[in-house]
């Protein structure tokens, strides 16, 4: 007899589900599946094994049924890297815990059907995967390895914790240790591993270019431009042509300059300034006119919408636009004519905006300045640098003066300024991490930030006044529940936050940040406050920007690297009568574009954070065994995090490694305290640690506490008996 159906545990379970939970005899199963004699014996053995594993239960009359009356649920499976998983609850259900032994044949991300059961020892509810409704993965990234004449791929994603066997002849030319893309040919069974074939060899796993490609695959970042977009990019002119100047103001005589980081290549903003007889200022913010070259619905536009933004990694970038645009004709390089859209903004002597005008123009940047050079001139008074850029000194001083005035105005209205340190990776000649330092944020950074903020606000105000639909950048006020938890957290540091009935205001939080400035707990309070605030999003519905204390705000100043800015440019040009085209391609609404931009921003942030942590781990691999001095920055029930003094890296001292005592976590005081010796660890304590272990796959750095002297010792009342000096 010809087999009409593949025999598997899933096949049998599907049959029982179709029978609405009715008990079936072995004979009924065999008849329903139309089996040969050999297959009947196979099914008998499977049913016996499934009964032993409690996937079926035996009932009266020698019949079988689904356990627990067939109660089931479905949802997306998330597998923890330690092996167990959870199925996301649907229709108000709680998430369902799935023990490791009941995960197969599922993989992380699959939509699964689980049998609801209870742990026989604890009675706790749990789920057992019984079938796969939809597979998440058809391909995956991993490292190719060989053993005993065969090959296998270890997935990059730690949630995919089982190796995939490479079928014979499916190596694709890969060498052991190389990063590959594998196509799955068979998925894991109850008692069998998945198999696959290598379809692309990316290269050595520690190659920086391969690391970026892996990040792109892991976080679903579009990596290669479409052939259509590349073909369009080849037709983009390399220089501004005469016909492009029609209808534009000629600002090539104005002394525009760009101010960016040392490694920047895509210069999308330039500034110029003039002092007014009234004592105020006139500011020109010129932004690359990307909309002139990228038209709605073009192939480049479609790729840009999909990407949403450029993604910046240490030493590398995945751009939103092809390089001929982002680093070429749209980049405001010095001594080259460039097409721009200009926000010309007037301010009074107090830094208050009094007027704003917008138009298309052509400019020629005079110089490409860096943040470091501007600091050398304005802060350090470096004579050589001042002499080299003498023609710009007065304008730079004017920008600095306007910056101070604008910061004061924003402070007056309650705008928040989180000046948290960020890490900068320094590389050697081979492109490997050489050091991790605190990125400097000096006066030059604040100058450009303030000028861009002023332009963004002016554009948003003008477009709203003219009732032009646009994509806003909004930031909602924090909810009462999160602010209540934040108040409780502050109490651990003897800080208070009196929130009025109407709700928290930016000014209240601004005052708090000023009070804790310079204190050991400043950084953790800043971080916890940031996590307590909603994330800013793009939307067509204006609710204001809580963090900036702005009634209206949009992104206008970075169309090379952010799609919403490009859309705002198109909306502005249409309102100014410079184009009749809609700001978006057909069948894509402003609301859809805003939603896509928010999602792409989130995935970019995750990818950037992942690569930054990878680089930190790679650098610290060289430091295993070394002893460093550091500061406790956070205390949790599982241990405390220490930020090193010499390098800007943070690692965990696990509570299990503190073998001199039994430590208990006191949440209210945000500290770990030994039950016998009363040794305590709190935020701000100075400690010596040894770099014990670096796990690059998990992006984790583990420290071992050094020295027997306590950071502090408490008496039974909880008061400090002795303590080290705390840094200020």
Token pair in block for residue 435: 């050091």
Beta bridge partners of 632: 642
Mean pLDDT for the stretch of residues 700-718: 70
The two counts, helices (H) then strands (E), for the chain are 16, 36
What pLDDT was estimated at residue 446?
Answer: 96
pTM of this structure: 0.84
User: CATH 2.40.50.700: which residues of the chain?
Assistant: 139-205
Angle of CA points 675, 681, 683, to nearest 5°: 150
CA distance 435 to 427: 7
- Closest by CA to 182, choosing from 153, 223, 222, 147, is 153
What pLDDT was estimated at residue 2?
Answer: 44
What is the sign, positive or negative, of the torsion defined by CA atoms of 93, 95, 97, 103?
A: positive
Report the range of poorest mean pLDDT among 127-131, 628-632, 691-695. Answer: 127-131
Kindly tell me if the per-residue pLDDT of 136 is higher than 80.
yes
What pLDDT was estimated at residue 69?
Answer: 61
Mean pLDDT for the stretch of residues 694-713: 82
At the top level of CATH, the class of 9-68 is mainly alpha
478-509 per-position pLDDT tens digit: 998 899 989 988 888 888 899 888 889 999 99
- Closest by CA to 127, choosing from 77, 81, 80, is 77
Token pair in block for residue 512: 């708090």
What pLDDT was estimated at residue 520?
Answer: 78
Please give the torsion angle defined by the CA atoms of residues 177, 180, 183 and 184, in that order, rounded to the nearest 10 degrees. Answer: 30
At the top level of CATH, the class of 139-205 is mainly beta
Specify the CATH number of the domain 71-134: 2.40.50.140
- Closest by CA to 644, choosing from 633, 630, 627, 623, is 630
What pLDDT was estimated at residue 20?
Answer: 60
Buried b / exposed e over 632-656, threshold 16 CB at 10 Å, is: bbbbeeebbbbbbeebbbbbbbebe
What pLDDT was estimated at residue 15?
Answer: 82
370-395 per-position pLDDT tens digit: 999 999 999 999 999 999 999 999 99
pLDDT over 90 for what percent of the chain? 66
What pLDDT was estimated at residue 716?
Answer: 45
Query: pLDDT band at residue 717, thresholds of 50, 70 and 90?
Result: very low
Residue with more model confidence, 715 or 100? 100
Asked if 612 and 630 touch (Cβ cutoff 8 Å), the reply is: no
Query: pLDDT band at residue 151, thresholds of 50, 70 and 90?
Result: very high
| Structural fold of domain 624-723 | OB fold (Dihydrolipoamide Acetyltransferase, E2P) (2.40.50)
Kindly tell me if the per-residue pLDDT of 584 is higher than 90.
yes
Chain-centroid distance of CA 152 in Å reads 30
Residue with more model confidence, 111 or 55? 111
Mean pLDDT for the stretch of residues 594-617: 96
Helix ranges, 505-562 (H): 506-516, 522-532
- Residue 274, C-beta contacts closer than 8 angstroms, at least 6 positions apart: 281, 282, 398
Beta bridge partners of 86: 78, 97
What pLDDT was estimated at residue 419?
Answer: 74
**Cis preceding-peptide flag for 105 (omega within 30 of 0):** yes
312-363 per-position pLDDT tens digit: 999 899 999 999 999 999 999 999 999 999 999 999 999 999 999 999 999 9
Instruction: Find tokens 């081979």 and name the residue.
Output: 430
What is the sign, positive or negative, of the torsion defined by CA atoms of 358, 362, 364, 369?
A: positive
Asked if 87 and 127 touch (Cβ cutoff 8 Å), the reply is: yes
Asked if 537 and 598 touch (Cβ cutoff 8 Å), the reply is: yes
pLDDT over 70 for what percent of the chain? 95
CA distance 707 to 524: 25
- What residue ranges in 80-190 does DSSP mark as E strands? 85-87, 96-98, 111-118, 125-134, 139-147, 150-155, 164-166, 178-186
Average pLDDT, the chain: 90
CA distance 555 to 568: 7
Q: What is the DSSP letter of 325?
A: I
CA of 203: how far to CAs of 212, 325, 608, 644, in Å? 12, 28, 21, 33
CA of 337: how far to CAs of 238, 263, 267, 314, 334, in Å? 11, 22, 13, 30, 8
Query: pLDDT band at residue 35, thresholds of 50, 70 and 90?
Result: confident
Sort 571 into a burial class: Cβ within 10 Å, 0-12 / 13-18 / 19+. buried
CA distance 504 to 523: 21
Query: pLDDT band at residue 721, thresholds of 50, 70 and 90?
Result: very low
Sort 44 into a burial class: Cβ within 10 Å, 0-12 / 13-18 / 19+. middle
Token pair in block for residue 628: 């460093």
Report the range of poorest mean pLDDT among 21-25, 170-174, 216-220, 267-271. Answer: 21-25
- The DSSP result for 596-622, as a single string, is HHHHHHHHHHHHHHHHHHHHHHHHHGG
Kindly tell me if the per-residue pLDDT of 711 is higher than 70.
no
237-260 per-position pLDDT tens digit: 999 999 999 999 999 999 999 999
User: CATH 2.40.50.140: which residues of the chain?
Assistant: 71-134, 624-723
Report the range of poorest mean pLDDT among 123-132, 622-631, 685-694. Answer: 123-132
Beta bridge partners of 272: 284
CA distance 515 to 599: 35
What pLDDT was estimated at residue 3?
Answer: 46
Residue 654, SS3 per DSSP: strand
Token pair in block for residue 86: 């959870």
Measured in degrees and rounded to the nearest 5, phi and psi for residue 516 equal -95, 0
Kindly tell me if the per-residue pLDDT of 68 is higher than 70.
no
Residue 20, SS3 per DSSP: coil
What pLDDT was estimated at residue 723?
Answer: 39
User: CATH 1.10.10.10: which residues of the chain?
Assistant: 9-68
């Amino acid at each position: 007899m010809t087999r009409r159906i593949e025999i598997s545990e899933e096949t049998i379970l599907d049959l029982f589900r179709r029978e609405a939970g009715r008990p079936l005899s072995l004979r009924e199963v065999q008849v329903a599946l139309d089996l040969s004699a050999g297959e009947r014996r196979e099914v008998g053995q499977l049913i016996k094994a499934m009964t032993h594993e409690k996937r079926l239960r035996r009932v009266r009359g020698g019949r079988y049924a689904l356990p627990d009356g067939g109660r089931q649920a479905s949802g997306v499976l998330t597998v923890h890297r330690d092996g167990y998983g959870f199925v996301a609850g649907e229709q108000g259900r709680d998430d369902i815990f799935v023990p490791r032994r009941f995960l197969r044949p599922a993989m992380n991300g699959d939509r699964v059907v689980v049998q609801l059961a209870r742990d026989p020892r604890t009675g706790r509810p749990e789920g057992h995967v019984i079938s796969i409704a939809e597979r998440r993965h058809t391909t995956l990234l991993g490292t190719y390895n060989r053993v005993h004449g065969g090959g296998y791929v270890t997935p990059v994603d730690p949630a995919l914790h089982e190796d995939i066997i490479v079928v014979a002849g499916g190596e694709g030319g890969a060498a052991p240790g190389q990063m590959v893309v594998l196509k799955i040919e068979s998925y894991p069974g109850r008692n069998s591993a998945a198999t696959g074939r290598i379809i692309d060899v990316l290269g050595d796993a520690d190659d920086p270019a391969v690391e970026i490609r892996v990040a792109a695959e892991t976080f679903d970042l579009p990596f290669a431009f479409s052939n259509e977009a590349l073909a369009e990019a080849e037709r983009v002119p390399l220089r501004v042509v005469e016909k492009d100047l029609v209808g534009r103001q000629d600002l090539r005589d104005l002394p525009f300059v760009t101010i960016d980081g040392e490694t920047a290549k895509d210069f999308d903003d330039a500034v110029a300034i003039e002092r007014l007889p009234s004592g105020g200022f006139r500011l020109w913010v010129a932004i690359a006119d990307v909309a002139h070259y990228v038209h709605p619905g073009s192939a480049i536009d479609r790729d840009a919408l999909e990407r949403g933004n450029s993604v910046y990694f240490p030493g590398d970038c995945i751009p939103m636009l092809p390089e001929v645009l982002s680093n070429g004709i749209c980049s405001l390089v010095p001594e080259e004519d460039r097409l721009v859209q200009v926000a010309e903004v007037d301010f009074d002597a107090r830094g208050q905006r009094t007027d704003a005008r917008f138009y298309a123009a052509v400019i020629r940047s005079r110089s490409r300045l860096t943040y470091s050079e501007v600091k050398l001139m304005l802060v350090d008074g470096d004579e050589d640098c001042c002499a080299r850029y003498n023609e710009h000194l007065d304008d730079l001083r004017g920008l600095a003066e306007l910056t101070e005035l604008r910061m004061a105005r924003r402070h007056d209205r309650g705008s928040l300024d989180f000046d948290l340190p960020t890490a900068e990776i320094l590389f050697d000649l081979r492109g490997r991490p050489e050091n991790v330092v605190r990125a400097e944020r000096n006066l030059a950074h604040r100058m450009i930030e303030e000028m861009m903020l002023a332009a963004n606000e002016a554009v948003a105000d003008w477009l709203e006044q003219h009732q032009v639909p646009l994509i806003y950048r909004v930031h909602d006020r924090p909810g009462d529940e999160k602010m209540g938890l934040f108040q409780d957290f502050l109490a651990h540091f003897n800080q208070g936050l009196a929130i009025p009935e109407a709700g928290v205001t930016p000014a209240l939080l601004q005052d708090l940040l000023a009070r804790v400035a310079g204190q050991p707990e400043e950084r953790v309070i800043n971080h916890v406050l940031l996590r307590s605030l909603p994330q800013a999003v793009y939307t067509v519905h204006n609710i204001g920007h809580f963090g900036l204390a702005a009634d209206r705000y949009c992104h206008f100043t970075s169309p090379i690297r952010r799609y919403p800015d490009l859309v705002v440019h198109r909306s502005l040009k249409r309102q100014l009568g410079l184009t009749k085209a809609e700001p978006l391609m057909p069948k894509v609404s402003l609301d859809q574009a805003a939603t896509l931009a928010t999602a792409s921003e989130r995935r970019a942030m995750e990818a950037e954070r992942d690569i930054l942590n990878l680089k930190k781990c790679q650098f610290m691999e060289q430091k295993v065994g070394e002893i460093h001095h550091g500061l406790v920055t956070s205390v949790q029930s599982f241990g405390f995090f220490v930020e090193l003094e010499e390098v800007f890296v943070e690692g965990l001292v696990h509570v299990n490694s503190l073998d001199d005592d039994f430590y208990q976590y006191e949440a209210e005081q945000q500290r770990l305290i030994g039950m016998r010796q009363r040794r305590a660890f709190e935020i701000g304590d100075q400690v010596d640690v040894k770099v014990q272990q670096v796990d690059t796959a998990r992006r984790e750095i583990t420290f071992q506490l050094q020295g027997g002297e306590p950071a502090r010792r408490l008496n039974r009342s909880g008061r400090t008996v002795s303590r080290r000096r705390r840094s200020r």
